Amino acid sequence: MGGVGEDDALVECSKHGVKPRAYVCEHLFGGHDQGFVASTDDPDNPFPDAWCRACEQIRLAHGGWSEESEKHISIRLVCGDCYELIKDQNQ
């Protein structure tokens, strides 16, 4: 996913303004106590892709994220501030 510019890494949030972007599964987006699993692919990313326990079971059943496993999940774009709130609500 090379070539991502600085502007591409930002999202405008209705609550927090322009912030770094992050991605979470739909269960985390509206959930509480869903578990919180985050990607370890890029240790320098302060907001790694994150998913819940149920989505982790899908990932494991398919041997990792792939086109097939991703058919069974829904991803939401959030800002970094929302990501931190979502993380706190689901850990």
With beta carbons less than 8 A apart as the criterion, state whether 53 and 42 touch: no
Q: Per residue in 14-72, pLDDT tens?
A: 999 999 999 999 999 989 999 999 999 999 999 999 999 999 999 999 999 999 999 99
Please check whether residue 3 lies inside any domain of the structure. no
Which residue matches tokens 């059943």? Answer: 61
DSSP structure string for 12-57: EETTTEEEEEEEEEHHHHH-SSS--EE--S-TT-SS--EE-HHHHH
Q: Does residue 23 sit within a domain?
A: yes
Q: How many domains does the chain have?
A: 1
Whether residue 4 is contained in a domain is answered as: no
What pLDDT is recorded for position 75? Answer: 96
pLDDT beyond 50 at 4: no
DSSP character at residue 9: G
User: Which of 22, 88, 57 lies closest to 65 in space, CA to CA?
Assistant: 57
Res 1 pLDDT > 50: no
